[in-house]
Amino acid sequence: MDERSPILIFDSGVGGLTIHDALRRVLPDAPVIYGADLAGLPYGAKSEAEIAARVAGLLGRMAERYQPRLACIACNTASTIALGMVRDVLEIPIVGTVPAIKPAAAQSKTGVIGLIGTQATIRQRYVDDLEARFAVGKTLLRVAAPDLVAAAEAKLRGQAVEGAAIERAADELAQMPDGQRIDTLVLACTHFPLLADELAAVFGDGVALVDGAEGIARRIASLLEGQPMRRTGADRFVVTGPVDAAKGLENALERRGFSSPEIF
């Protein structure tokens, strides 16, 4: 294994940077290429067939071009729909990101768990299966909060975050049966931890926010244990579509050790 072989982190936008940040804490010397499908953003409003075809096609081409040692689909929507297909196509380890229902169920005291994600994520059978496996005897309340994706993208570009979308999601959950007893909130989109401060302000101290970034990072580290790794310079950040779509991200990327955005 070439010590310069990168880890490929793929997302529809910048949400996967939450996975990147967690990964840096456990693998500080790992070279990374981040692929942002900005031309396809947002995924949550697309059909399952569109998402599966797009993700499998892009990851196949990125794997061929960049020769990564591992790819992480840092997007809950893409993972719940296309993870199996991508694993069938690529001959490298593939790590997906799925809603953190298991740890949320383990720590909930009231047994009532909220989950916010994209429209596509919350309707997936994959999420039903996670609930059936890990939240037996618990109540899982799901709400689509697609506007939070745009809010997170805006925040990382230094723009103001409108709180109305978060308040709508909180109100919708609160109005569901047992919604007032929610004590744990699953952030079922990698974009959403970027809004942790705003979410905490609306949901309050009595609701714990749970996402899967740290667990995903540990999983990647375990799969790559013992492999030589060496960063020889800035990591690469590649985007689909015009590079201008990444305008405003320069400071956030520089802080994380990425070079200027480039076109895939």
Catalytic residues: 75, 189
Q: Which amino acid is at 238?
A: V
- Residue 42, preceding peptide bond in cis (omega within 30° of 0): yes
In sequence order, the β-bridge partners of residue 210 are 186
Q: Are 202 and 167 in contact (CB under 8 A)?
A: yes
In sequence order, the β-bridge partners of residue 239 are 36, 263
